[in-house]
Structure 1
Amino acid sequence: MTPKKIAAFTIGPLGAALLGFITLPIITWFFSQEDVGRMSMLQVAIGFSTLFFSLGLDQAYVREFHEVSEKSSLLKVAFLPGLTLLTITLLTVLMFGDALADLLFEIPKKHLSLLGAIALLAAFVSRFLSLVLRMNEQGIAFSMSQVLPKLLMLVVIGAYVLIDAEKSLTNLVIANTSALVFVSVVFAYNTRREWLASVTAPLNIQLLKHMLRFGFPLIIGGIAFWGLTAIDKIFLRTLASFEELGLYSVAVSFAAAATILQSVFSTVWAPTVYKWASKGEGLENVNKVIRYMLALVVLAFCLAGLLSWLVTFFLPPKYTAVQWIVVSCLGFPLLYTLSETTVVGIGISKRSSFAMVAAVLSLAINLLGNWLLIPHFGASGAAATTCFSFWVFFLLRTEFSIYLWKRIPRLLLYSLTLSCVFGATIFTLWGESLSILMAAYWTLLLCYASYAFKSEIRCVVFFLLKKSPVNGATHI
């Protein structure tokens, strides 16, 4: 992918993140902490339904895109089974009236159930149509589709404030659902040629069987991965309160700034690696990418540990604890992104069952940690547990990839990431009483990382200055 196309894909996540930072303070100031927590349960449901009902065919679509000539048939095979199953499931649930709203929000209202069902369906459609833009390298269309729903969300929330509308859960759900529906419509328009062609394309049963064999292990793995990112919220709701869940959700939202890196990198990386594999060239660059990504991850953890107090300027006083929790919340987006660079062997070998095992084992650790820590530490315990669980997830994915593909040097890889996770855990659980010591810890780690990655830093500086460095970094 050319630098111009990479830039086109980058605009969307950057714009969406910036709009998210504008929207989040408005929500925390004008909506109750409990409703913020309840909204996070809708996000949990969206994540689960998208992962489960995709049947692993979304990832199979990405894997097969460069190897299948009939792209319209490929889209139909990937999209239709999950859409049909999800639609039938939602219609069945809606027959029970307010059951969905009661399950998500503990507020049994039929209109909330309907809004929730619409949100789930719109998110699923958006997932597959975004893959079409991504694999066809339509960066501008992809980016606009990322920015517009955030902008709509901001406009709706702003309108609530201007007209002094009731700051209720219903209005908050309406704002979120409207944004999801809007983005699905935009995606549908931008991909109209592809999905219209797929409507008349034959359903290739043999291709479906082939893709299901690749995707089936990803169903279990997908549920396990959903558990890694969502089980903490479920435990908080069960063992703590919606207030703690709201506090945690705000911390996760601030940490989601790191998903800029995750979103941009994942959008570009997977298609690039599979294209390299299909052509049998370019794979020697993987080690370089791993090292640069490791440097970014360590830098992000250190800066977050030193500057997390800044978030208190954007939030009401009741969210003060977010400054300690947010650093551990970075574990998911940062360590997951790093693992995307080290896990390529699983994708290239098409041994997706190994990805499933990594997710399941990490989920087991997450379950145990949340059960032990949340009753004592609340949202802080959930954040620390999830951060460590994602380090285990990263470790397992890396080792399985090495087993299936080829060895990569990993002493620095493991030692630095474990140092970040250790620091984040202590910072989240006891940072308020150890603030001076933690500031020293992050400063020392930042200094060491700057020395360890001096070659990469020099390469970046020369690149920004449009010069060529004398020696590039090639080893981990």
Structure 2
Amino acid sequence: MTPRKIAAFAIGPIGGALLGLITLPIITWFFSQEDVGRMAMLQVTIGFSTLLFSLGLDQAYVREFHEANDKPALLKRALLPGLFLLLLTLAILLLFGGTLANWLFERPDWYLSLLIVTALLAAFISRFLSLVLRMNERGLAFSLSQLLPKLVLIAIISGYVLLRADKSLTNLVLANTIALLLVCVVFAFNTRKEWIAGLRTSLDWQHLKSMLKFGMPLILGGIAYWGLTAIDKVFLRTLASFEELGVYSVAVSFAGAATILQSVFSTVWAPTVYKWASQGEGLENVHKVSRYILGLVVLLFCFAGLLSWVVTLFLPANYMAVQWILVSCLGAPLLYVLSETTVVGIGISRRSSFAMSAALIAFLVNLAGNWLLIPTFGAAGAAVSTCISFWVFFVLRTEFSIYLWKPMPRLLLYGYSALVVAGASAFTLYGETIYSFMLAFWCLLLVAALFSFRAEVREALGFVTVRFKKTVSG
């Protein structure tokens, strides 16, 4: 993949994250804290249903895309079984009136259930159609399909504010459903040749069975990772309140800006590291990149700890706790990126069961952490539990990779990552009472990191300076 294509794919996640930072404060000022929490449950449900009903066939589609002679037929085989099961399940749920909305929102409203069903269907279809753009390396179309719904959501919410519309859960769900429908329509338009051609093909049942045989085992690993990232919200919904869930979801959304790094790095890293490995250059380059990413992760945690108070300038008074919770919420995206630099041995050895085991064990740690911490600390407990479980996930992926491939130095990796997780946890749980101590901690850690990674900082600054001079002179 060329740098230009990588940049085209990166526009979507980067622009989406930035637009999300604009949308979020508007929503918190206009809608109630409980309704913001209810929307978090909708997002959790969308993620789980897309994962479960895909039957692993989305992964099978990616795996077989370049080998398939009839790609529209492959799309039909991947999409149709899960779509049929999802439609059947949702139709049965709608027969029970507002049951679905009651489960998610504690609002037994049939209209809300209908909106939820529409959102689930749109998200599911969009998942498969997005893969068509991705596998055909149509990065710009893929990115625009991600950006337009965010812009539409901003427009709808702004329209609510200007027209002084009812600040109801129904209007909030409606706005999000329209945005999801739009992305589905845009994806459908951009992939119309593929899916229209697929409609005319016959279904190859034998090939479908082989795709299911490949995809179904991947669901367990997918559910484990989904649980690792989403079970905190389920526990908050059960053991705390929608208000706590609202605060937590806002903190997670702000921390989601770090997913820019995750998205861009993941797009570039996988093909690059496998190329290195094939040329016998893997280990030395992996060490170098892991040091760079470790340094960046530590610096981002330090700056977040020192500057998290800035988010309170954009939020209502009842979201003041976000400044403390935010730092631990960075653990999920940042530690995941760090683990991507050390997990390469699992991919090279093709032992995916180890990756699934790491996700499953970390998920169980998160289950226990949420059960123990949420009753006492609420949203702060959920953030700390997820942060710690992602550190466990990072350590397990690293150790499994070393076991399957080659040893790597990890004293610095584990030392600094453990420090930032411990600091983030203390900051989230007790930062309000020991704020001066935490400021000193983040400052000292920042100085130590700048010293430890001085060569990497100097090289990065030199690279940026050279590129800037070339841009100016050119």
TM-score scaled to structure 1, two decimals?
0.92
Amino acid at match of 1:323: Q
Amino acid at match of 2:339: S
Gaps of 5+ in 1: 469-476
Answer whether contact 1:327 1:428 (CA < 8 A) is retained.
yes
Match of 1:42 in 2: 42
* Whole-angstrom distance in 1 between the partners of 2:63 and 2:279: 15
Aligned CA RMSD, in angstroms, stands at: 2.3
Deviates more, 1:367-376 or 1:355-364: 355-364
CA offsets, 1:306-357, max 9 Å, x none? 1100000000111111100000011111112222333333334443322222
In structure 2, the CA distance between the partners of 1:305 and 1:72, relative to structure 1 (3 Å rule), is same
CA offsets, 1:405-459, max 9 Å, x none? 3333322222221111111100000011111111121122222222222232233
Deviates more, 1:442-451 or 1:238-247: 442-451
- 3-state SS in 1 of match to 2:466: coil
- 3-state SS in 2 of match to 1:465: helix
Give the alignment of 1:101-116 within 5 angstroms: 101-116=101-116
Match of 1:187 in 2: 187
Match of 1:7 in 2: 7
In structure 2, the CA distance between the partners of 1:346 and 1:192, relative to structure 1 (3 Å rule), is farther
The percentage of counterpart residues that share the same residue type is: 69
Answer whether contact 1:217 1:353 (CA < 8 A) is retained.
no
Match of 1:258 in 2: 258
Amino acid at match of 2:335: L
- 3-state SS in 2 of match to 1:157: helix
* Whole-angstrom distance in 1 between the partners of 2:274 and 2:194: 21
Gaps of 5+ in 2: 469-474
* Whole-angstrom distance in 1 between the partners of 2:190 and 2:288: 35
Cα distance, 1:280 vs. partner? 6.4
TM-score scaled to structure 2, two decimals?
0.92
Match of 2:82 in 1: 82
Match of 1:61 in 2: 61
* Whole-angstrom distance in 2 between the partners of 1:465 and 1:206: 57
Answer whether contact 1:135 1:271 (CA < 8 A) is retained.
no
Match of 2:123 in 1: 123
In structure 2, the CA distance between the partners of 1:455 and 1:3, relative to structure 1 (3 Å rule), is farther
Deviates more, 1:174-183 or 1:122-131: 122-131
* Whole-angstrom distance in 2 between the partners of 1:445 and 1:95: 57
- 3-state SS in 2 of match to 1:433: coil
Cα distance, 1:281 vs. partner? 7.2
Match of 1:146 in 2: 146
Match of 2:164 in 1: 164
Amino acid at match of 1:381: G
- Pair 1:215-2:202 in alignment: no
Match of 2:472 in 1: none
Match of 2:344 in 1: 344
Amino acid at match of 2:234: I
Match of 1:234 in 2: 234
In structure 2, the CA distance between the partners of 1:268 and 1:121, relative to structure 1 (3 Å rule), is farther
Say how many residue pairs are matched: 467
Amino acid at match of 1:94: L
Match of 1:474 in 2: none
Match of 1:26 in 2: 26
* Whole-angstrom distance in 1 between the partners of 2:204 and 2:225: 29
CA offsets, 1:335-389, max 9 Å, x none? 1222233333333444332222222211111111111111111111111001101
- 3-state SS in 1 of match to 2:137: coil
Give the alignment of 1:236-315 within 5 angstroms: 236-270=236-270, 283=282, 285-315=285-315
* Whole-angstrom distance in 2 between the partners of 1:76 and 1:286: 39
Answer whether contact 1:217 1:356 (CA < 8 A) is retained.
no
Cα distance, 1:25 vs. partner? 0.9
Match of 1:52 in 2: 52
* Whole-angstrom distance in 2 between the partners of 1:82 and 1:346: 29
In structure 2, the CA distance between the partners of 1:401 and 1:55, relative to structure 1 (3 Å rule), is farther
Answer whether contact 1:328 1:424 (CA < 8 A) is retained.
yes
* Whole-angstrom distance in 1 between the partners of 2:286 and 2:142: 25
